[in-house]
Amino acid sequence: MASTPTTATHVWPLGTTLSADGVLVLGGCDAQDLAREFGTPAYIVVEEDLRRRARRFLEAFAQRHADAEVHFASKAFPCTAVLRVFAQEGLACDVASGGELHLALAAGFDPARIHLHGNAKTEAELQAALDAGVADIVVDNLDELAVLERLVGAGRRQRILLRVAPGVSPDTHPHISTGGPNTKFGFNLHDARTAIARVEASDRLDLDGLHFHIGSQILDLEPFRAALEAVARLGTFRTINMGGGLGVPYTHEGSAPSIEDYVERKVDLVHEILGPGVRIADEPGRSLVATSTVTLYTVQSVKHNVSTWVGVDGGMSDNLRPMLYGARYEAVVVGRPLPDPTDPTVAHIAGKHCESSDVIVHDALLAEARPGDVIAVPMTGAYGHAMANTYNGQPRPPVVFVGDGRARVVVRRETYADLTSRDVANA
């Protein structure tokens, strides 16, 4: 029987179709064909999804505030091709290490649109940022301030922001909550006053503004008010950067504020608390990239212990989030009829690694899977490739861009030879 393409729910990238008999089309490409051509596991990225989200952020700010800049938090998907898409779309870029700075420059970002972060930046990273001519450095602590003043040197000036911990914890997993009173990130309010006085007296540093980032996967926007009110007590400067954090719905029952609601709330808060003349910077990561990507795996084994365990050829080497903080995903068996939600087969999708925690989806509502089947897990664009590793000597997956029925590899699959490529001969 021919399948009727249906528009898939919000967990799938823009333009995806998923039929009742499990035919999955991503960026106009059949998922079975992609798995055959590029192998599995593989990250399949719908390029248009990335572009559309970047435009939505830019338009949402442009409609509400004259002076705003959207920075892609590159840690969410530190891949040159992804960064290049966002540079082309007119975003700026937040980097949190020398390596991310290298990627942003390789992707073609104008250094004047790159912003350096980090709670323990090395002197070499600060120097690299100064040499590149980045827009600003978001200073995290008093030690860094002293090093930076020394590196900038007499007769030169560097623009900075101060990262402040506003003492506010959003309702998210503790591992991705960053703005509470006892955090490793940023100045507490007392030290922030000391830092402001020090920078104001400096002949080398220009204080452009304040920054805070209270956490990630934020679904309730309310804590931004308390955070901004706390930071506003330090004074009003040219720029306020309220970090990123907008959450995304990882499963079809999930919901999250839209990009437009998030931008509106942040802009309204700035207008109310700091006034309309302030420059606003924002640093979305997850909400720009999560939905763009689907990871394809191949089933290697199916066993029935107390539960049904479907073993696939990837796992915590390509997606650490379920193991780090219990993140939930859902999955489909490509090419098998979608399960009846009233009578589902429930199975755990297990990774191949030597850890019991290596389970990609617990209690997945899944069609009966068999070895050789392709499993697709949506919503893997954020912090998937970013945290990929080679545990058990597993080569990292390729990144494949799809659109208009065409597919191209933008990061090749790692090889066994890559795994030994850093070995020093005769060591």
Ligand X SMILES: Cc1ncc(COP(=O)(O)O)c(C=O)c1O
The C-alpha atoms of residue 84 and residue 115 are separated, in whole angstroms, by 16
Nearest to 70 by CA among 48, 93, 47, 88: 93
Binding segment for ligand X among 68-76, 225-233, 322-330, 419-427 (CB under 6 A)?
68-76
Say which residue the tokens 């490529």 belong to.
Answer: 421
Between 351 and 378, name the residue whose CB sits nearer to ligand X: 378
Nearest to 397 by CA among 244, 328, 287, 294: 294
Binding segment for ligand X among 46-54, 73-81, 265-273, 309-317 (CB under 6 A)?
73-81
Among 53, 115, 121, 286, the residue binding ligand X under the rule CB under 6 A is 286
Q: Which residues pair with 160 in a beta bridge?
A: 137, 207
Q: State the minimum distance, in angstroms, from the CB of residue 176 to ligand X.
A: 7
Q: Exactly one of 29, 79, 93, 354 is catalytic; name it.
A: 354
Binding status of residue 76 toward ligand X by CB under 6 A: yes
Among 23, 24, 70, 73, the residue binding ligand X under the rule CB under 6 A is 73
The C-alpha atoms of residue 375 and residue 369 are separated, in whole angstroms, by 9
Is 354 among the catalytic positions? yes
Between 287 and 293, name the residue whose CB sits nearer to ligand X: 287
Residues 307-366 that bind ligand X (CB under 6 A): none
Binding status of residue 213 toward ligand X by CB under 6 A: yes
Binding segment for ligand X among 70-78, 119-127, 187-195, 260-268 (CB under 6 A)?
70-78
Between 75 and 396, name the residue whose CB sits nearer to ligand X: 75
Nearest to 143 by CA among 109, 99, 190, 187: 187
The C-alpha atoms of residue 111 and residue 317 are separated, in whole angstroms, by 32
* x/- map, 87-116, ligand X, by CB under 6 A: -------x----------------------
Binding segment for ligand X among 33-41, 102-110, 277-285, 352-360 (CB under 6 A)?
277-285
Among 284, 314, 339, 384, the residue binding ligand X under the rule CB under 6 A is 284
Compute CA distances 170 → 150, 219, 223, 379, whole Å.
Answer: 36, 9, 6, 22
Among 166, 179, 243, 257, the residue binding ligand X under the rule CB under 6 A is 243
How many residues line the site for ligand X (CB under 6 A)? Answer: 16
Q: State the minimum distance, in angstroms, from the CB of residue 161 to ligand X.
A: 11
Q: Three-state secondary structure along 137-204?
A: EEECCHHHHHHHHHHHCCCCCEEEEEEECCCCCCCCCHHHECCCCCCCCCECHHHHHHHHHHHHCCCC
Nearest to 319 by CA among 384, 381, 377, 248: 384
Q: State the minimum distance, in angstroms, from the CB of residue 172 to ligand X.
A: 9
* Alpha helix positions (H), 208-355: 223-232, 259-273, 286-289, 321-325
Q: State the minimum distance, in angstroms, from the CB of residue 97 to ligand X.
A: 11
DSSP state of 56: H
Q: State the minimum distance, in angstroms, from the CB of residue 201 to ligand X.
A: 26
Between 285 and 378, name the residue whose CB sits nearer to ligand X: 285
Long-range contacts of 180-187 (CB under 8 A, 24+ apart): 184/119, 185/119, 185/140, 185/213, 186/119, 186/140, 186/141, 186/162, 186/211, 186/212, 187/140, 187/141, 187/142, 187/162, 187/163
Binding status of residue 117 toward ligand X by CB under 6 A: yes
Between 216 and 319, name the residue whose CB sits nearer to ligand X: 216
Q: State the minimum distance, in angstroms, from the CB of residue 361 to ligand X.
A: 21
The C-alpha atoms of residue 341 and residue 315 are separated, in whole angstroms, by 25
Q: In the chain, what's the furthest Cα-to-Cα distance?
A: 76
Binding status of residue 216 toward ligand X by CB under 6 A: yes
Among 13, 27, 170, 285, the residue binding ligand X under the rule CB under 6 A is 285
Residues 406-425 that bind ligand X (CB under 6 A): none
Binding segment for ligand X among 23-31, 226-234, 281-289, 346-354 (CB under 6 A)?
281-289
Under a CB-based contact definition with an 8 Å cutoff, are residues 115 and 134 in contact?
Answer: yes
Nearest to 294 by CA among 15, 3, 64: 15
Q: State the minimum distance, in angstroms, from the CB of residue 277 to ligand X.
A: 24
The C-alpha atoms of residue 406 and residue 25 are separated, in whole angstroms, by 11
What SS3 state is found at 55? helix
Binding segment for ligand X among 40-48, 150-158, 278-286, 342-350 (CB under 6 A)?
278-286
Q: State the minimum distance, in angstroms, from the CB of residue 170 to ligand X.
A: 10
Between 283 and 318, name the residue whose CB sits nearer to ligand X: 283
Cite the active site residues.
354
Binding site for ligand X (CB under 6 A): 73, 75-76, 94, 117, 213, 216, 243-246, 283-287
